């Protein structure tokens, strides 16, 4: 299982998506799933699904497909840490709040443990079930709570500063939702998402299909 450390980013993304679908199946009482069903639900190629799942050392059977519970647990051992990881949200605006609300209870091994903002009206309050601290307390809270991941949802002009503070506080992974391309120390893993890109992609394909 040592080789899973070297799985490409895109494979990890798909494994996470497979698990989302598998957990949905379990909730619906569906205990077996074929690769083509999984593929169709995620709009990808069944060959891709089979290749990814073989890569993590799992196999289905021709007759019944994959065992939903076993495959989902297996993906869990790859993505999750045994002891779990804690996440901080920096910037409790609409997007920060959406993420805090959305994530509640979604995954047991990945928990939003703190939020940070500079607005006195938000500081020291519990918002969407998560305690909001002053931005000035960031380093202290992150170290005390053992938070390893930071999600940045501040206004663009505060993005670089927030990333710097997170890394100084010992954060090892950042998910950046601002449109500002960040530069962080190479020991911190950086993932960036800009919704304009998603929307422009849709716009492009709409334009060219007409």
Question: Which residue, chain included where needed, has tokens 């639900």?
Answer: 41
Q: Following DSSP, what letter does each residue of 123-175 receive, concatenated?
A: TTSEETTEEEEEGGGHHHHHHHHTEEEEEE-S-GGGHHHHHHHHHHTT--EEE
Q: What residues numbered 156-175 form the site for a copy of itself, per CB under 8 A?
A: 172-175
Q: What are phi and psi of 60, to 5 degrees?
A: -95, -175
| Contact pick of 36, 67, 69, 85 for a copy of itself (by CB under 8 A) | 85
The two three-digit tokens of residue 152, written as one number: 């940045």
CA distances, 48 to each of 39, 40, 59 (Å): 8, 11, 14
| Contact pick of 1, 3, 5, 105 for a copy of itself (by CB under 8 A) | 5
**51 vs 106, beta carbon nearer a copy of itself:** 106
Cβ neighbours around 64 below 10 Å, total? 11
Task: Provide the mask over 99-118, with x wherever binding to a copy of itself is found by CB under 8 A and - wherever it is not.
Answer: x-xxx--xx-xx--------
Residue 140 C-beta: closest distance to a copy of itself, Å: 21
Any contact of residue 27 with a copy of itself (CB under 8 A)? no
Residue 12 C-beta: closest distance to a copy of itself, Å: 5
Q: What residues numbered 32-51 form the site for a copy of itself, per CB under 8 A?
A: 41-43
Cβ neighbours around 210 below 10 Å, total? 5
Give the residues lining the site for a copy of itself (CB under 8 A): 5, 7, 9, 12-13, 16-17, 20-21, 41-43, 78-81, 85, 87, 93-95, 97-99, 101-103, 106-107, 109-110, 148-149, 151, 172-175, 179, 181, 187, 189-210
């Amino acid at each position: 299982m040592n080789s899973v450390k070297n799985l490409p980013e895109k494979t990890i993304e798909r494994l996470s998506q497979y698990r989302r679908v598998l957990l949905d199946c379990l909730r619906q009482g569906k205990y077996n799933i074929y690769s083509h069903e999984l593929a169709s639900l995620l709009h990808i190629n069944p060959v891709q699904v089979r290749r990814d799942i073989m890569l993590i050392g799992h196999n289905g059977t021709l007759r019944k497909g994959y065992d939903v519970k076993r495959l989902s647990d297996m993906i869990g051992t790859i993505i999750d840490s045994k002891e779990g990881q804690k996440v901080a949200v920096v910037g409790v605006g609409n997007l920060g709040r959406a993420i805090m609300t959305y994530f509640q209870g979604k995954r047991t091994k990945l928990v939003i443990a703190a939020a940070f903002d500079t607005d006195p009206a938000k500081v020291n309050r519990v918002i969407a079930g998560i305690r909001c601290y002053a931005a000035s307390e960031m380093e202290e809270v992150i170290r005390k709570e053992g938070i390893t991941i930071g999600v940045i949802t501040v206004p663009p002009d505060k993005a670089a500063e927030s990333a710097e503070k997170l890394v100084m506080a010992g954060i090892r992974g950042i998910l950046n939702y601002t449109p500002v391309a960040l530069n962080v120390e190479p020991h911190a893993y950086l993932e960036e998402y800009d919704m304009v890109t998603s929307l422009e992609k849709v716009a492009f394909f709409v334009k060219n299909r007409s």
